[in-house]
Amino acid sequence: MISIDFDYYKPENINEAYDLMRRFKTEKTNAVYYAGGTEVVSFIRKGTLKAKAVIDLKGIPEMSKMYAEGEWVFVGANVSLSKVADFKPLEPMKAIFNKIADRTIRNSLTIGGNICGKLAYREAVLPLLASEAHVLIAGAEGLSEKKLSECFDKMLKLSEGEFVYGFKIPRRDKMSIYSRRIESDIPIDYPVIHLVGIWEENRLFVGLSGFAGFPLYKWIDKEQFAQWEQPKENLVKEFASLAKKDDRSGKEYRLHLLDYLIEDMLGGLEHDQL
């Protein structure tokens, strides 16, 4: 049950949504964008989010669409993670998306909400970064398109009032994917660590969620990898200093899991492609 009063708006296009938010900022009214609502509703119920106005983006039909066009796949920010995982053109990434929470939660958790949320995990961003996806951002000038990796640093960097309209993901038919997610004590929980490894073309992508206070990732190209005498130790060293301690796990246990999962990843992926 939500115990606070707020004004509700459901704009029908991106300009109307942005103008509403800009108006509320000018009036110093605390307003939030709303799509799937998994995180927003939870924070409002807990009293950690004091919204006086809610702008529901589900009234913008294009943001709930998903389609393949040529070498790209468009995924609207309001598309649920379940639908993303089940979309045939994104089949190689299914193993990653299907590890985020459970089916019931994924049915309402949107890809835009997961990536733009306040929680530190943002697991859905890892396969998009690995595939060099682009993000479409709605703002003062309408829509702008940027490479996701150029505007994601710990979190997606948006200017005041901007919101994510959708993502353009390059189609990848040949990807060797490793994905392991370890929770603390119950199957449906935030990850203590979620490691994603992808061999794609002549390089390795390694991404982590839950290990630090924000998602981590790194590309290692063929030449660099070939020079490493101890690949596992080198990869562990890349991330080890950022291990966090929280109520789910201590640093030492996370480091132990990192060491184990990287060894497992290197043994399981077809790294002879490099």
Three-state SS across 124-150? CHHHHHHCCCEEEEEECCEEEEEEHHH
Do 39 and 123 belong together in one domain?
no
Do 72 and 152 belong together in one domain?
yes
Do 166 and 66 belong together in one domain?
yes
Check whether 44 has a pLDDT greater than 70.
no
Do 79 and 165 belong together in one domain?
yes
- Looking at 58, 83, 100, which one is the last position of a domain? 58
Check whether 223 has a pLDDT greater than 50.
yes
pLDDT score, position 187: 56
Banded model confidence at residue 81, pLDDT cuts 50, 70, 90? very high
Mean pLDDT to the nearest integer, 156-171: 96
Mean pLDDT to the nearest integer, 44-59: 77
Do 95 and 161 belong together in one domain?
yes
User: Is the Cα torsion angle 173, 175, 180, 181 positive or negative in sign?
Assistant: negative
Q: If DSSP codes are grouped into helix, strand and coil, which group holds residue 152?
A: strand
In a domain, 2, yes or no: no
User: Which runs of consecutive H residues, i.e. helices, occur in the chain?
Assistant: 14-26, 38-46, 81-86, 94-97, 103-106, 111-116, 125-130, 148-151, 222-227, 231-239, 251-268
> What CATH number did the domain enclosing 106 receive?
3.30.465.10
Do 66 and 34 belong together in one domain?
no
- Estimate the share of the chain in helix, then strand, then coil, as percent rounded to the nearest 5: 40, 30, 35
pTM of the model: 0.90
pLDDT score, position 186: 63
For residue 250, CA distances in Å to 74, 160, 245, 257 come to 39, 35, 4, 11
Q: How many domains does the chain have?
A: 3
**Structural domain harbouring 102:** 61-170
pLDDT score, position 42: 59
pLDDT score, position 127: 95
> What CATH number did the domain enclosing 256 receive?
3.30.390.50
Banded model confidence at residue 1, pLDDT cuts 50, 70, 90? very low
Check whether 24 has a pLDDT greater than 70.
yes
For 99-157, how does the pLDDT look when each residue is reduced to its tens digit (9 = 90+)? Answer: 998 889 899 899 999 999 888 899 999 999 999 999 999 999 999 999 999 999 999 99
**What rounded mean pLDDT belongs to the chain?**
90
